[in-house]
Amino acid sequence: MYNRIMNFTNYKQKVIDSLRWSQKYTETDMLYLAKGGFWWTVSRAGLFLISFLTMIAFAHWLPKEGYGTYQFVLAGLGFFTIFTLSGIDISLIKSTAQGKEGTLSLAVKEKIKFGTIGSLLSLILAGWYFIQGNNLLGVSFILVALFLPFRGTFPIFAAFWNGKKRFDIQAKYQVISAFLSALLIIPVIYFTNNVIIIIAVFLFAHTLFDWILYRKTEKQTINKEQDLNAILFGKHLTLMGGLKAIADYLDKIAIWHFLGAIPLAIYSFAKLPIQKVRELIPIAHLALPKLGENKIDESRKKGIISKFLRLFLITVPVAAILALIAPLIYQLFFPQYLESIVYFQALSIIIALSPFLLLEASLVSEMKKRALYAINIVTPLLKIILFLALIPYLGIWGIILAILASELLKGILSLYFFLRI
């Protein structure tokens, strides 16, 4: 036993020494990257697997029309969740990194308060659907209104642990929440095609487990020091990202109204896997707490650009591989959605553009409000305009082209403003 422990200790030390040696070539804190990247990969891999299994359940047990309706309601939920001030989650990372842990409870109160605005709007939309005779959507958006302020707030525990660089706890909590929620949702999908029941269980499960983990996090704060600037800057970030959030959910809403539930289901089975794969790339997650420790001077700026360029050596091949293996994956797991393959392949370009997230994280760290406003207004505005202009003529391809054009423009603007720091 003693020899095994010593062998493990020696092996661990060799790995640490190798990482330290590589730092002079990568110009990166490789110990931090390995530790944070490991837990990020574990959590995202776990979340990806859970999401993948849930998608298989939807593909096999829920008709396309039902799944399209489900996605439309979730798009409405995401749209109204804007009012829970998602930007505060980002600014909380920096406050927590600076040791101001009392900001967590302050942020939660502010998010719930503003989230009630989204609930009110959801109730108004529910009333409109009842007047139109669509009871399914009417009841669905009443459920959204009831859960929205809490569903959009309690996952903030992830931002807190991110700021403390406790990626292990963050990973564990996120996977636990998703796993327990899936344990409730997947059996419901199997036993019923009732979209209202599925939505109710989805909202209840995620809200309950996120609340439990938030309370557990709150009890582990070590001081009550608050950063009022974080709340103010978080509101700015929310305002900056408001148009982006609208654009992010408008695609599904537009497809629903222009094309119907079944095309929305086909599109969702192309977009959701791309989103989950991109979440596996820990660029912004690892960069933001590290960037927030010090100002970005000319020396750090050159290092960031060097890392930015090197990241393309990873993301471009990954995007190409995804596009090549997509037909096999869909034939094996989602044979009901083979129409989604070509859209997935086109959207894989987004993965190749992921290194631009590093530059955007740098702008957030430096609190470059004007630059962030410009990026988060111009690019989603272009996306929305292209949505409305192209969908009537190109259908789903209009959405795909709009997304790719806006992602490319966002990357170019991020590079432009970063070089001006």
Residue 14 lies in a domain: no
Q: What is the model's pLDDT at position 194? A: 96
pLDDT digits (tens, 9 = 90+) for 195-218: 999 999 999 999 999 999 999 999
Mean pLDDT of 241-263: 89
CA distance 342 to 327: 9
CA distance 199 to 404: 30
Q: Which two tokens stand for residue 156?
A: 């903030």
Residue 10 lies in a domain: no
Cα 359 versus chain centre, distance:
17
Please tell me the least confidently modeled range out of 61-65, 85-89, 280-284: 280-284
- When pLDDT is cut at 50, 70 and 90, the band that residue 64 belongs to is very high
Please tell me the least confidently modeled range out of 97-101, 157-161, 267-271: 97-101
- For residue 18, pLDDT over 90 is answered with no
H runs (alpha helix) in 64-194: 64-80, 87-97, 103-131, 135-151, 157-163, 167-191
Residue 286 lies in a domain: yes
- For residue 12, pLDDT over 60 is answered with no
Q: Which two tokens stand for residue 79?
A: 């749209």
User: Radius of gyration over alpha carbons of the chain, in Å?
Assistant: 22
Mean pLDDT of 263-280: 92
Residue 19 lies in a domain: no
Q: What is the dihedral of CA 37, 38, 40, 46, to 10 degrees?
A: 150
pLDDT digits (tens, 9 = 90+) for 139-148: 999 999 999 9
In 3D, which of 375, 359, 365, 363 has the Cα closest to residue 308? 359
Q: Which two tokens stand for residue 48?
A: 């990806």
How far apart, in Å, are the Cα atoms of 397 and each of 171, 249, 324? 35, 16, 19
Number of domains in the chain: 1
CA distance 289 to 94: 6
- For residue 178, pLDDT over 50 is answered with yes
Mean pLDDT of 40-55: 90
Q: Can you tell me which residue has the tokens 């994280």?
A: 361
Q: What is the DSSP letter of 172?
A: H
Residue 1 lies in a domain: no
CA distance 195 to 40: 33
- Please give the backbone phi and psi of residue 164, each rounded to the nearest 5 degrees, phi first: -85, 0
For residue 147, the enclosing domain spans 29-419
Q: What is the DSSP letter of 100?
A: -
Q: What is the model's pLDDT at position 115? A: 96
CA distance 308 to 311: 5
CA distance 9 to 234: 43
Residue 224 lies in a domain: yes
Please tell me the least confidently modeled range out of 131-140, 165-174, 340-349: 165-174
Please state, rounded to an integer, the average pLDDT across all residues of the chain: 87
Please tell me the least confidently modeled range out of 43-52, 53-62, 174-183, 318-327: 43-52
Q: Can you tell me which residue has the tokens 């993948």?
A: 52
- For residue 175, pLDDT over 70 is answered with yes
Q: What is the model's pLDDT at position 372? A: 83
Residue 9 lies in a domain: no
- When pLDDT is cut at 50, 70 and 90, the band that residue 22 belongs to is very low
Residue 323 lies in a domain: yes
Mean pLDDT of 367-373: 80
